[in-house]
Amino acid sequence: MIDIKLIRENKDLVKENIKKKFQDEKLPLVDEVFELDKKVRAVQIKADNLKAEKNRLSGQIGLLMKDGKKEEANKIKETVAKSSTEIAKLEGEQAELTSLIKDKMMVIPQIIDESVPIGHDDTENVEVQKFGDSVVPSYEIPYHADILENLGGIDKDSAGRTSGEGFYYLLGDIARLHEAMIAYARDFMIDAGFTYAIPPFMIHSDVVTGVMSFPEMQAMMYKIEGEDLYLIGTSEHSMIGKFKDQIIKREELPIHMTSYSPCFRKEGGAHGLEERGLYRVHQFEKQEMIVICEPEDSMEWYEKMWKLTVDIFRNFDIPVRQLECCSGDLADLKVKSCDIEAWSPRQKKYFEVGSCSTLGDAQARRLGIRAKGEKGTYYLHTLNNTVVATPRGLIALIENNYQEDGSIKIPKVLQPYMGGKTIIESKK
């Protein structure tokens, strides 16, 4: 949610930002908010004047009664009573207008960084740089579900019976490899100075709407029937929510944390679910990182954060690239974002395994996350980044470490988490 001062003082900037995101249908909202804001301030002035007059008259009543001027005092009491009624009416009108403004402001997108490339959708995202050589071996690499089945590491049929489409059992060494990736990512982030956390896996609706837009919530989140609780789609939701309505001491900044959680997503719409594979599923696990920092430090942290993900995947012997998200591919709360994509030697292309974003003060405004400085309180900046999400990360690992005999070479950094095992051999 942007600062309403931007609409008061620079409507054209806000409109131009909407155009850059190709959301022209939202342009009328800017003028609507501008006019509603003028009404709110006019009502506020009127109410403040009435309150001042009411206080002045109330002060006279005691003096008049003391002087025995009861009739005159009663007339002033009647005026004060009418003022009180009018003030209550104005406060109700002000609350109604303020709520209407908030609803409209929640839909107006955050001002994107000037470095963001302009484009309609993810097909116009821009490759920035590559890390590692994108090698295609001389032998064929099967579809990842077939590799996992050959290793005795997956059972989607049983999961279909217990839970339906979009769920899976990971088994044996593959399940262990999956958890080794998460454990290594956790320890890597702790060594990088991040505080480890395991957050709540369910959150209230006011936290959900604080961290993401309503359309995103509807598309992603599972609601617990009969309760004000949602299953998290990523631990960023509850980690940022941890600081809701808090005034953070400046000496405690920056706050940088890494968190583990299972994640739950509907994965509906055009993309659909993976019938056989694990690329789009309802349930997965993830190591995440979040930062809350001073506004002037957010871009520096953004650069640090995505590079940590690159380092981890390179340690898994996986080539990756950084892809800058264009304006039309940015969620409404994001200022700037990039995807980290892993090389798929089977498909001979890259696919997304993580995303890093700075949201400026958008989440902080919605959730009331502030610090106190010399000139009063101000909103902080929030950032989030995927450290490792499985099973997508697992898919990248098995494809890039697949051997011609059907076995999987275990990256050196993961071998201590696998009891010293160096290879997962085919069961067939």
Which CATH number does the domain housing residue 411 bear?
3.30.930.10
Same domain, 50 and 153: no
- Taking only the tens place, the pLDDT of each residue in 197-219 is 999 999 999 999 999 887 777 78
Does one domain contain both 25 and 133? no
Residue 243 lies in a domain: yes
- Residue holding tokens 């309609």? 120
User: Would you say residue 354 lies in a domain?
Assistant: yes
Pair type for strands 423-424 and 408-409: antiparallel
pLDDT at 69: 78
Q: What is the pairing mode between strands 349-358 and 336-344? A: antiparallel
Residue 24 falls inside a structural domain: yes
Span 244-263, pLDDT tens digits: 999 999 999 999 999 999 99
pLDDT of residue 423: 97
Q: What distance in Å separates the CA atoms of residue 175 and residue 291, rounded to the nearest whole number?
A: 30
Say yes or no: 75 and 134 in one domain: no
Which residue type sits at 380?
Answer: L
Name which of 288, 163, 169 is nearest 222 in CA terms. Answer: 163
Domain boundary among 42, 76, 105: 105
Answer whether residue 116 is part of any domain: no
Which range of residues forms the domain containing residue 92?
4-105
The DSSP call for residue 380 is -
- Pairwise CA distance, residues 214 & 206, whole Å: 11
- Please, are residues 294 and 249 in contact by the beta-carbon 8 Å criterion? no
Q: Are residues 77 and 129 in the same domain?
A: no
Total domain count, the chain: 2
Do 88 and 169 share a domain, yes or no? no
Q: Is 90 exceeded by the pLDDT of residue 383? A: yes
Asked whether residue 110 is domain-assigned, the answer is: no
In-domain check, residue 384: yes
Residue for token digits 């070479």?
409
The CA distance from 343 to 313, in Å, is 10
Residues 330 and 389 in one domain: yes
- Where a domain ends, among 43, 77, 105? 105
Residue 88, domain CATH = 1.10.287.40
Query: To which residue do tokens 């955050």 refer?
Result: 110
Which pLDDT belongs to residue 274? 61
**Residue from 362, 238, 221, 386 nearest 306 by CA:** 386
The answer to whether the beta carbons of residues 142 and 346 sit under 8 Å apart is: yes
Could you tell me if 236 and 295 lie in one domain?
yes
Strands 247-248, 370-373: pairing kind: parallel
> For 216, what's the count of Cα atoms within 13 Å in the CB-facing half-sphere?
19
Residue 268 covered by a domain: yes
Given this model, what pLDDT does residue 353 score?
96
Q: Length of the chain in residues, anyone?
A: 428
| Rg (the chain; Cα; Å) | 28
Q: Measured between alpha carbons, how far is 233 from 262 in angstroms, rounded to an integer? A: 8
Q: Are 374 and 407 contained in the same domain?
A: yes
Q: Are residues 216 and 91 in the same domain?
A: no
Flag whether pLDDT at 75 surpasses 90: no
Backbone φ and ψ for 153, nearest 5 degrees, come out as: -110, 0
Mean pLDDT estimate for the chain: 93
Judgement on whether residues 227 and 89 belong to the same structural domain of the protein = no
pLDDT for 271: 55
Last residue of a domain, one of 49, 75, 105: 105
127 and 99 assigned to the same domain: no
Q: What's the CA gap between 146 and 125, in Å, rounded?
A: 31
Residues 238 and 288 in one domain: yes
Task: Say yes or no to pLDDT of 270 above 80.
Answer: no
Measured CA angle at 307 (ends 334, 345), to 5 deg: 100
User: What is the per-residue pLDDT across 324-361, written as a single tens digit (0 to 9) for each?
Assistant: 999 999 999 999 999 999 999 999 999 999 999 999 99
Instruction: Of 67-76, 241-250, 393-402, give the lowest mean pLDDT range.
Output: 67-76
Q: Is the pLDDT of residue 184 over 60?
A: yes
Check whether the bond before 295 is cis (ω within 30° of 0).
Answer: no
Q: Record the tokens describing residue 72, joined without a space.
A: 């005159």
Establish if 117 belongs to a structural domain: no
Distance CA 360, CA 32 (A): 24
